[in-house]
Chain A
Amino acid sequence: MNKEIIRSSSQKGLLFGIVMIFLVLINFHLMASTMISKLMGTNVLRGSLPEARFFIIFLVLYAIWVGWSAASREGKTIHKLFEGLFAGLIAGLTVALFGLLLFYMLETQTDIRKYLTALSFPSMRFFLLDMGELGILVHFGLFTLLGLLGSALAVGLRSQKVAHFKQGVKTAITNLRLRITNALPESVNKYGKYGIYLLLLVILFLLPTRWGSYYNFVFGMVGLYVILGIGLNIMLGLSGQFMIGIAALFAMGAYSVALLNSPIPHGLMWGFWPSLAVGVVMAVIGGLLLGLPIMRLRGDYLGIVTLGFGEIIRILLNSDLLTDITGGPRGVQNIQQPTFLGTPFNDVMYAYLIIVAMAVSIFLYYRLENSRTGRAWLSIKEDALVAQATGIDVQKYKLLALCVGAAFAGLAGGIFAARNQFTGPNDHTLMVSINVLSVVIVGGLNSIPGIILGSFALRGLPELLRELETYRLLVFGALLVFMMLVRPDGLWPASRPDLEEKGSPGLKEDIEPAEEGRSND
Chain B
Amino acid sequence: MLKVTDLNVYYGAIHALKGISFDLQEGEIVTLIGANGAGKSTLLNTISGILHAKVGQVEYLGEDISNEAAQVIVQKGIVHVPEGRKIFAKMTVLENLEMGAYTVSDRQQIQDKMGAMFERFPVLRDRKKQLGGTLSGGEQQMLAMARGLMANPKLLLLDEPSMGLAPVLVEQIFDIIQDINQLGTSVLLVEQNAHMALSIADRAYVLETGNIVLEGDAADVMNDPMVISAYLGG
Q: Please report A residues at the B interface, Cβ cutoff 8 Å.
A: 372, 375-376, 378-379, 382-383, 385-394, 496, 498-504, 507, 510-511, 513
Q: Which residue of A lies closest to B150 (CB)?
A: A390
User: Is B74 positioned at the interface, with any CB of A under 8 Å from its CB?
Assistant: yes
Q: Pick the interface stretch among B7-15, B29-37, B77-85, B168-176.
A: B77-85
Q: Which residue of B lies closest to A504 (CB)?
A: B134
Least distance between B125 CB and chain A CB atoms (Å): 12
Q: Which residue of B lies closest to A396 (CB)?
A: B71
User: Is B89 positioned at the interface, with any CB of A under 8 Å from its CB?
Assistant: yes
B74 near A385: Cβ-Cβ < 8 Å? no
B50 near A391: Cβ-Cβ < 8 Å? no
Q: Pick the interface stretch among B55-63, B96-104, B222-230.
A: B96-104
Residue from A382, A388, A394, A499 in contact with B89 in the complex, judged by beta carbons closer than 8 Å: A382
User: Is B48 positioned at the interface, with any CB of A under 8 Å from its CB?
Assistant: yes
Q: Which residue of A lies closest to B44 (CB)?
A: A389
- Note all chain B residues with C-beta closer than 8 A to A499: 92, 129-131
Give the complex CA separation of A389 and B48 in angstroms. Answer: 7
Q: Which residue of B lies closest to A500 (CB)?
A: B129
Residue from A376, A382, A385, A498 in contact with B92 in the complex, judged by beta carbons closer than 8 Å: A498
User: Is B199 positioned at the interface, with any CB of A under 8 Å from its CB?
Assistant: no
Residue from B75, B82, B102, B129 in contact with A385 in the complex, judged by beta carbons closer than 8 Å: B82
Number of interface residues of B (CB under 8 A): 35
CB-CB under 8 A for A392 and B71, given A375-B95, A504-B134? yes
B134 near A390: Cβ-Cβ < 8 Å? no
Residue from A375, A387, A389 in contact with B81 in the complex, judged by beta carbons closer than 8 Å: A389
- Note all chain B residues with C-beta closer than 8 A to A513: 90
Give the complex CA separation of A246 and B106 in angstroms. Answer: 38
A386 near B82: Cβ-Cβ < 8 Å? yes
Least distance between B153 CB and chain A CB atoms (Å): 11
CB-CB under 8 A for A393 and B69, given A379-B91, A385-B50, A386-B82? yes
Q: Which residue of A lies closest to B132 (CB)?
A: A382
- Note all chain A residues with C-beta closer than 8 A to B127: 502-503
A385 near B151: Cβ-Cβ < 8 Å? no
Give the complex CA separation of A387 and B88 in angstroms. Answer: 9
Give the complex CA separation of A387 and B69 in angstroms. Answer: 13
B71 near A391: Cβ-Cβ < 8 Å? yes
Please list the 5 inter-chain residue pairs (A to B) with the smallest Cβ-Cβ separation, ordered nearest first: A391-B74, A500-B129, A391-B103, A389-B80, A388-B70
- Note all chain B residues with C-beta closer than 8 A to A389: 48, 50, 70, 74, 79-82, 86, 148
Least distance between A66 CB and chain B CB atoms (Å): 44
Q: Which residue of A lies closest to B128 (CB)?
A: A500
B133 near A393: Cβ-Cβ < 8 Å? no
User: Is B87 positioned at the interface, with any CB of A under 8 Å from its CB?
Assistant: yes
Q: Please report B residues at the A interface, Cβ cutoff 8 Å.
A: 48-50, 69-71, 74-75, 79-82, 86-92, 95, 98-100, 102-103, 127, 129-131, 133-135, 147-148, 151
Q: Which residue of B lies closest to A375 (CB)?
A: B99
CB-CB under 8 A for A388 and B50, given A375-B98, A393-B71? yes
Give the complex CA separation of A383 and B86 in angstroms. Answer: 8
Give the complex CA separation of A503 and B99 in angstroms. Answer: 23
Least distance between B188 CB and chain A CB atoms (Å): 14
Least distance between B147 CB and chain A CB atoms (Å): 7
Known A-B contacts: A389-B86, A394-B70, A498-B92. Give 16 more (CB < 8 A): A375-B98, A375-B102, A378-B91, A387-B99, A389-B70, A390-B74, A390-B102, A391-B70, A391-B103, A393-B69, A499-B131, A500-B129, A502-B134, A503-B134, A507-B134, A510-B131
Give the complex CA separation of A390 and B90 in angstroms. Answer: 16
CB-CB under 8 A for A386 and B87, given A376-B102, A392-B102, A511-B134? yes
Give the complex CA separation of A421 and B174 in angstroms. Answer: 69
Give the complex CA separation of A21 and B7 in angstroms. Answer: 73
- Note all chain B residues with C-beta closer than 8 A to A394: 70
Give the complex CA separation of A132 and B138 in angstroms. Answer: 75
Least distance between A445 CB and chain B CB atoms (Å): 11
CB-CB under 8 A for A390 and B48, given A500-B129, A511-B131, A513-B90? no
- Note all chain B residues with C-beta closer than 8 A to A378: 88, 90-91
Give the complex CA separation of A499 and B127 in angstroms. Answer: 10
Give the complex CA separation of A391 and B92 in angstroms. Answer: 19
Least distance between B128 CB and chain A CB atoms (Å): 8
B91 near A388: Cβ-Cβ < 8 Å? no
- Note all chain A residues with C-beta closer than 8 A to B87: 386
Q: Which residue of B lies closest to A388 (CB)?
A: B70
Least distance between A500 CB and chain B CB atoms (Å): 4
Residue of A496, A499, A501, A510 with highest tally of chain B CB at under 10 A: A510
- Note all chain A residues with C-beta closer than 8 A to B151: 390-391
Give the complex CA separation of A372 and B131 in angstroms. Answer: 19
Residue of A376, A390, A496, A500 with highest tally of chain B CB at under 10 A: A390
Q: Which residue of A lies closest to B73 (CB)?
A: A391
- Note all chain A residues with C-beta closer than 8 A to B134: 502-504, 507, 510-511
- Note all chain A residues with C-beta closer than 8 A to B92: 496, 498-499
Give the complex CA separation of A393 and B68 in angstroms. Answer: 12
Residue from A390, A391, A392, A502 in contact with B130 in the complex, judged by beta carbons closer than 8 Å: A502
Give the complex CA separation of A389 and B99 in angstroms. Answer: 10
Least distance between B185 CB and chain A CB atoms (Å): 16
Q: Which residue of B lies closest to A376 (CB)?
A: B102
- Note all chain A residues with C-beta closer than 8 A to B75: 391
